[in-house]
Structure 1
Amino acid sequence: MESLTAHSPWGADRDARLSETALDAAARGQPAGPHLPAVDDLRLTVKGRRSGRERTVPVAVLKHGGERYLVSYRGLSDWALNLRATPEARLTSGGRTETITVEEVPEADRPPLLAEYRDAYGSMPTVTGVLDALPDPADHPVFRIRA
């Protein structure tokens, strides 16, 4: 689960409850509600920037222009800060694990990626609300996946 920062427009308790329920269900490929799409069971494992311990969170990978991206739609999440510190991670889906490296997308290049992320995942709980509350692309780290 992403950790919340000062960039979060809502309290930590509310976001934590949403993350642990609907978003996790969707990340496991289960319907998170009557009108919510299921997404692949995809987990990102990244080394903690302070602890050095591995941290695993559910993620959705955006496919755009033949490339894959990780979008921290909730703002400056712990997993995004961890990737900034160490741009190596693992993606796991259906028992298959892929080691990846990432590079952060410059702020000027983020708007079309955030728009496509909204189109793809905007029906999931909190996605559209958070993107509306935090409209500045600088608030949303985006990482290009390099396998």
Structure 2
Amino acid sequence: MKSSNRIVLSSDHAAIQLRQAIASHIAACGWVVVDIGPTTPESTHYPKHGEAAARLVASGDCRFGIILCGTGQGIMMAANKVAGIRCGICADTFSARMIRQHNDANMLSIGARVVGEGLALDIVDAFLTAKFEGGRHAMRVEMIAALEG
């Protein structure tokens, strides 16, 4: 079932606690959370978690994705390999708002070893409340999509 209020969350082992805090926060805001990340601290591989979340967003099953690893970098790189995904890493609210408004990002990546929980929740809120502005930005988003081949 495709839903406009479904968000997939995933992470590697380094970000379980922050992912769970974000899941609780966005569920309280009315989002349907699809948490596909690990629940135990054994080492796991961020590329598979980034890809799995990205596929749920690219298929339309989830409107957005939020992914986390230690820095947010590796999992974001993996997600961006999936056609149709525009994922940005954010460590501040301005960037989170801008990747939605100007880049029509459909996924957000956060580094659990980079930002604390309070800031992470503010970043998530900025991302989820921002709206794509379209206009001149739409042409640029189309140019990015064309790079997928």
Q: Same fold (TM over 0.5)?
A: no
Normalised by the length of structure 1, the TM-score is 0.29
Higher normalized helix content (fraction of residues):
2
- Highest relative contact order (Cα 8 Å, sep 6+), 1 or 2? 1
